[in-house]
Structures are given as C-alpha cells and as structure tokens.
Amino acid sequence: MLKFGSISYLNLLPFQVYMKRRTPSTQFAQMLRWQRAVPSVINRRFRRHEIDAAFISSIASAKAPCTDLGIVADGAVRSVLLIPGSRQDDRESASSNALAQVLGLEGRVLIGDKALVHYLEGGEGIDLAEVWKERTGLPFVFARLCYTRNGKKIRRLARDFARRERHRIPGYLLKRAAAKRDISPRELQWYLEHIDYRLGWKEKKSLQRFLKAARRLRMEN
C-alpha cells in the first residue's frame, strides 16, 4: 500500500482533487492511503520512512529524491505571516521558521489556514514570501513533492499535474473546504490564485539560495 502524506492546508486542495479524479477504480487507488498532517509532522514521518511520498518542507528536502512539483509563491501568499515582536516559531512549520531567520526578521511566525484566516479578518502581519520576492526577485518554494519509493510512479503523477494549466475544483468541494475554515468559497478561490506548483529554473535557483542561506545560519549558530 502506497502511503501518501498530504499537508492538511488549503494550498494543496487542487492536488488532492486531482488525485481523487485520477485514481478512482484503479489498483493504484486501492493501494493509495492518505495521511494528512501539518508540515512538521509530515517531515518527521517522511524522514522515518513511515510514508512513501509527500509534499515535504523545502528546508527538509535537500537530500531527498524529489520531483519538479512543489508549493510556490511568486510574491505575497497571504498564508505565511510574521507578527512583529519577540521570536516565536510556528510548531507546524519548518521552512517558514527558517525563512524568517534567513530574512533577519523577528516575530511570531504564523502559517497555513490559520494565517490566511488571520489575514482575511484584517489581522496585521508581514508576508514572508513577499519580502523574499522583494529582496531576491525570485519566487519562494515552501515545499516539494518527494518520495522514498515508487519514484517512477510519483514522477509521472507530478509531470501530469504540472502539465495542467487549470485545476478546477468542484463547487461542492470548494464550499466544504471553505466552510471548515469559516471563509467564503470566493476567498478560497482568490487565495489559490497566489499558489503555483511547478518548479522551473527560477524556483530551483531560489530554492538553492534559500537552502544555502539556511545552512550558513545553522553553522553560525
């Protein structure tokens, strides 16, 4: 049975819908077993080989076999925020905590759906992806689809998903996902417009720059 880890945030909704459409009534669908959790937990399960493939945090992907699919923001993303003040990492995060340190910003890191709701309710915060874009001119890669086995199958899935220009989400799923976060379907649709999934040369350049900066910080500390 293929154990597929999935970040339990709205930013992966298009991929989750794609997988459900692709796999019904096939042997792969019968084997597929989703394990949903926050990024830090998915990273840990992947590292222990408790799951076979997952979108893991980019900071944890340096030595893993990965595809050219990830979670990317080319500028403001609205779901990775820093509330100015004393340093406080988000326990659900890995890449965003490291990003705040790389950028030299102090405050409370807030990620995922709770950060999006905070923003939509008018809460203040510095958008870390937006700051990265302003300083580097590059998009930021928050996560990558990586695997521990079944690499050929996972790479094929990644290529097929990446080739699709639009990822339509059925209205009933959009409403259900939005209602769980107490936001509107229109707000959810607007949010997903800030997310991309393909890693081209700019994204890979950005990723290497981020990983290098994070390594340097760890050595200094």
Query: Residue 88 has what DSSP assignment?
Result: B
Q: What is the CA radius of gyration of the chain?
A: 17
Rounded CA gap, 75 and 25, in Å?
A: 39
Task: Give 10-residue mean pLDDT values along the chain (221 residues).
Answer: 84 90 62 76 92 94 96 97 95 94 96 96 96 98 95 92 84 94 95 95 98 90 69
3-state secondary structure of 39: helix
CA dist 147 → 42, 61, 63, 104, 112 (Å) = 12, 10, 11, 32, 23
Spatial strand order in the sheet of 107-111? 107-111, 80-84, 126-127
pLDDT at residue 27, as a whole number: 55
CA nearest neighbour of 58 among 219, 214, 169: 214
Structural domains for the chain: 3-220 (3.40.190.10)
The CA–CA distances, whole Å, from 169 to 12, 166, 178, 185, 196 equal 12, 10, 12, 11, 15
Is pTM beyond 0.85? Reply is yes
CA 54 to chain centre: 10
- The candidate with the shortest Cα–Cα distance to 194, out of 136, 135, 127, 146, is 127
Residue 198: CB partners within 8 Å, gap ≥ 6? 68, 69, 70, 72, 162
pLDDT score for 26: 58
Which among 57, 74, 16, 55 is positioned nearest to 195, based on CA atoms? 74
> What pLDDT score does 24 carry?
61
Sign of CA dihedral 131, 96, 168, 120: negative
